[in-house]
Amino acid sequence: METLRNILLMMDPLFIWGFRLFDHPWGGFMAGLAVLSLLCVVTGDFTSHLARRLNRKVYGKYRDEMVLQHNLSVEALKHSDKDAYKAVNRQAHEAFGKYFFSQAGAFTLSIWPLPFAMAWLDIRFGGIPITLPFSVPGVGDSVFYPFFFLPIYIAVRILYGRIMRRFPFYQRILGWSKHGNDTQMVPFMDLLKPSAGESSGKAEGHAQPASEQKGAPRS
């Protein structure tokens, strides 16, 4: 592990420059944390999309199976068939498990730089108390670096996602790493709508395609 710590130290000039953007102590500290967060988010996002692209066939297969079983369970409820519902729901849970863990790997690749950033911050700022301009109830007036870094990382990650989605090139990246067919999960809330019974007659026997589920989010 000492080797990895030495590598982190070698990369010190890359990580520290953000902290020197402003002369003001707080400005420099916050800017540095924001730059470091952005570096983590961009690196993680790149590796995650690459993994999704390389695995899109496997992920797509798992996802389609999960969606199919789920939609069948909704279909079973539409027909008041509890036995079929329980059986299909069990299958849906199994398919979900496989899909879920496949996505876990891809997600982990999006946050892997975070602990390394924490390790570098620990080398730099570990154990140094930072005095707050005011006292926070339950926290006091003195905190350590994670108090600022983690919220900033989360904020940068959310902002990055929202901003990048506006760019056509990023939309193309999202499409490049997309997996599975366009069939969406049928929300159970549809079964509560008065028209569900009628529409179920029309769509009977078919898992509803994405086009019929406008606005339904993709996982």
Partner 1 sequence: MSKRFRVLVLSALFVLVSVVGPLWAQEAAAPAATQTEIAAQAAAAPEAPKAAATGTKLEKAIAMAPVGTEAGQIDPAKPIGFLGIPGAPQINPLIALLWAVWVGWIFSTVGAFGGVMAGVGHVTVFGLGAYAKGFKSTAPDLNKTVTDSIRASNQFLVGLSALISSINYGKMGRLVLPLGLALGAGSLLGAWGSATLTAGKVSFSAYQGWFGFFVLALGCYLLWETSPAGQAKKVKAKQAAQAFEAAVKAQRTGGGPAPTGVKILGITFSKVQFTFCGVEFSFNPILPVVGGVVISALAAFLGVGGGFLLVPFLTSITQLPMYLAAGTSALAVLVSMITSILTLMTKGTPVDWVLIGTEMVGVAIGSIVGPHTSKYFSDKLLKRLFIILAFYVGIDYVLKGFFNIRVIEMLFG
Which residues, 169 to 188, sit near partner 1 by CB under 8 A?
A: 185, 187-188
Q: How far is the CB of 15 from partner 1 (least distance, A)?
A: 10
Instruction: Pick the closer one to partner 1 by CB: 85 or 153.
Output: 85
**Which of residues 162, 166, 169, 194 is near partner 1 by CB under 8 A?**
194
Among 26, 32, 42, which residue's Cα sits nearest to residue 12?
A: 32
Which residues, 21 to 40, sit near partner 1 by CB under 8 A?
A: 25-26, 28-29, 32
78 contributes a contact to partner 1 by CB under 8 A:
yes
Rounded CA-CA distance 132/139 in Å is 10
| Whether the Cβ atoms of residue 150 and residue 140 lie closer than 8 Å to each other | no
Q: How many residues bind partner 1 (CB under 8 A)?
A: 106
Instruction: Pick the closer one to partner 1 by CB: 1 or 169.
Output: 1
**Which of residues 5, 53, 56, 178 is near partner 1 by CB under 8 A?**
5
3-state secondary structure 20-36: HCCCCHHHHHHHHHHHH
**Which of residues 36, 41, 72, 156 is near partner 1 by CB under 8 A?**
72
Phi/psi region, residue 119 (left: phi>0; alpha: psi -120 to 50; beta: rest), is: alpha
Q: Which stretch binds partner 1 (CB under 8 A): 52-60, 166-174, 175-183?
A: 52-60
Instruction: Pick the closer one to partner 1 by CB: 140 or 209.
Output: 140
Which residues, 87 to 146, sit near partner 1 by CB under 8 A?
A: 87-93, 96-98, 100-109, 111-116, 118-119, 122-131, 136-144, 146
Site string for partner 1, 144-163 (x = CB under 8 A): x-xx----------------
Q: Looking at beta carbons, which pairs linking 46-53 to residues 24 or more positions away fall under 8 Å?
A: 47/109, 47/110, 47/112, 48/106, 48/107, 48/109, 48/110, 49/173, 49/174, 49/176, 49/177, 50/109, 50/177, 51/105, 51/106, 51/109, 52/106, 52/177, 52/178, 52/179, 53/176, 53/177
Q: How far is the CB of 211 from partner 1 (least distance, A)?
A: 18
